[in-house]
Amino acid sequence: MRKVVVTGASSGIGKEIARRLLLLDYEVIGVSRSVKKEYFESQNFTPLQADLTNETSTISACKKLSSEDVYMLINCAGFGRFEPHEELSAKTITSMVFLNLTAPMLLTNALLRDLKKNGGYLININSIEALRSSKFAGVYGATKAGLKAFGDSLFEETRKSALSVTNINPDMTQSNFYNELRFETSQHEDEKLLASDIADAVEHILSMRKGAVVSEYTIRSLNFGISKKRL
């Protein structure tokens, strides 16, 4: 059974992707600070608790995962804060950069030899913000644009191997990503994405002939919508 590592597997998009991969008969190692085995009704799920905003914890997780002979890495963990740049704390900035960009680079560094040897997949869950510039999103957009650039470079670097590298860029997706923000996804079905839409994209990528790679996968809601929270 092929092993997959999914970061951010305790909730939202990461949890939905992990569930889908279990249904597709993969063995899933889910990484997050709070992930537990009972979150998934499958004997093929293994939790690995790690704080991917912390360098020591991330490097420890990399060492553990490097012995697992991994077939696929899905970098999904991330968070965003959307405020005037001068109002962001130093901790928020450094944590956002580490979780959204540095941790995926470290995990990929630890697992890339196995991914190439196994002819597997590296999938980065980026954001629509990787493709545009938005006010109050300077740090978040920079981390996602950086992750996209990282994936694009690895696609070119590893092309002589059988590794497939894909950047998925979702628009606003209903999840707990917005729990601590001042806005959230619209309540209208055609003005938001669901976590299952991103899992569908992953399944589509895996279903394709191995000689073809979707290197860039952007998913938008049919219409634009956003809901401001009442303070």
Residue 133 — very low, low, confident or very high, per pLDDT cuts 50/70/90?
very high
Q: Which two tokens stand for residue 186?
A: 């619209």
CA 81, CA 94: separation in Å to the nearest integer?
12
Q: Which two tokens stand for residue 224?
A: 């634009």
Q: What is the pLDDT of residues 78-125, one digit of tens each?
A: 999 999 999 999 999 999 999 999 999 999 999 999 999 999 999 999
Instruction: Identify the CA nearest to 127 among candidates 103, 151, 111.
Output: 151
Containing domain of residue 141, as a range? 3-228
CA 98, CA 103: separation in Å to the nearest integer?
6
For the chain, what percent of residues have pLDDT higher than 70? 100
Q: What is the dihedral of CA 151, 156, 158, 160, to 10 degrees?
A: 160
pLDDT at position 132, please?
93
Q: What is the pLDDT of residues 175-228, one digit of tens each?
A: 989 888 888 898 999 999 999 999 999 999 999 999 999 999 999 999 999 898
Say yes or no to pLDDT of 231 above 70. no
pLDDT, mean of residues 142-165: 97
Q: The domain spanning residue 177 has which CATH number? A: 3.40.50.720
Q: How many structural domains does the chain have?
A: 1
